[in-house]
């Protein structure tokens, strides 16, 4: 078991992590993979008295995480930070002509991880790859931009000794068993089964480590 008694695990990211949480209730975990993973882990390891927070915000890119990082991460003093961010960097390129260069994504992502490492040197990371499922032809066109972002997450996981969850490949494998729209109707926002798959993958990763 990698977690210590009463560890605080912070989930961060965009709408996939946010998933309808009540932002006026600091302990609300939303309805997605974060609450699923937290509930299962709490049930499997009740003696650890683990604590969980969700600070995901829909629409966020890594530059948005960077702006709120002091209050929504550093000041919370988590023992673990689980981050899933990157799909909005791709989406905004195609729907708003507002791209995020891979170099900028990597610079900002490395900066927020570095801020944690400097302020909270014992804190560890769980990095989740962004993903897309090809539910329509335009989603397939996103692949060229997304793949470079995934490569960044993999490099940073290695650099910061993080647990990496290779979610893009996990969803690709799942889509071979049942059509992509079953897991995420728009290719991005998971269905309940999609969220359960993320939670299962997260739990498998932390238990394996």
What is the tens place of the pLDDT at every residue in 84-121?
999 999 999 998 888 999 999 999 999 999 999 999 99
The yes-or-no answer on residue 18 being catalytic is no
Per-residue pLDDT at 23? 94
Element (H, E) at 122: none
Domain-wise residue ranges, the chain: 8-208
Name the active-site residue from 42, 145, 189, 201: 189
Per-residue pLDDT at 209? 72
Q: Token match 């650099």: residue? A: 159
How does residue 156 score in pLDDT terms, banded at 50, 70 and 90? very high
How does residue 1 score in pLDDT terms, banded at 50, 70 and 90? confident
Residue 52: beta bridge partners?
Answer: 9
Angstrom CA distances, 135 to 16, 122, 138, 142, 184, stand at 17, 41, 8, 11, 8
Tokens of 8: 């605080």
Name the active-site residue from 14, 15, 108, 201: 15
Per-residue pLDDT at 208? 72
In the chain the first and final C-alpha atoms are separated, in Å, by: 8
**Phi, psi dihedral angles at 180 (to 5 degrees):** -55, -40
The yes-or-no answer on residue 48 being catalytic is no
Pick the CATH number of 8-208 from 3.30.360.10, 3.40.50.2300, 3.30.565.10, 3.40.50.1110: 3.40.50.1110
Name the active-site residue from 7, 64, 72, 186: 186
The yes-or-no answer on residue 195 being catalytic is no
Instruction: Answer whether residue 34 shows pLDDT above 80.
Output: yes
Instruction: Answer whether residue 164 shows pLDDT above 90.
Output: yes
Instruction: Answer whether residue 32 shows pLDDT above 90.
Output: yes
**Whether pTM exceeds 0.75:** yes
């Amino acid at each position: 078991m990698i977690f210590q008694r009463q560890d605080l695990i912070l989930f961060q990211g965009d709408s996939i992590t946010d998933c309808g949480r009540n932002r006026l209730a600091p302990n609300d975990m939303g309805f997605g993979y974060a609450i699923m993973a937290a509930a299962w882990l709490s049930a499997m390891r009740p003696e650890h008295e683990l604590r969980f927070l969700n600070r995901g915000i829909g629409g966020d890119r890594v530059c948005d995480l960077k702006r709120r990082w002091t209050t929504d991460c550093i000041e919370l003093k988590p023992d673990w930070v689980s981050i899933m961010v990157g799909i909005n960097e791709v989406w905004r390129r195609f729907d708003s002509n507002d791209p995020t260069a891979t170099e900028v994504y990597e610079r900002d992502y490395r900066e927020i991880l570095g801020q944690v490492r400097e302020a909270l040197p014992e804190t560890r990371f769980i990095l989740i790859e962004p993903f897309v499922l090809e539910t329509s032809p335009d989603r397939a066109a996103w692949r060229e931009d997304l793949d470079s972002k995934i490569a960044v997450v993999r490099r940073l996981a290695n650099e910061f000794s993080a647990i990496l969850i290779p979610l893009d490949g996990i969803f690709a494998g799942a889509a071979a068993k049942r059509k992509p729209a079953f897991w995420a109707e728009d290719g991005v926002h998971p269905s309940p089964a999609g969220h359960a798959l993320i939670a299962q993958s997260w739990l498998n990763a932390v238990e394996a480590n």
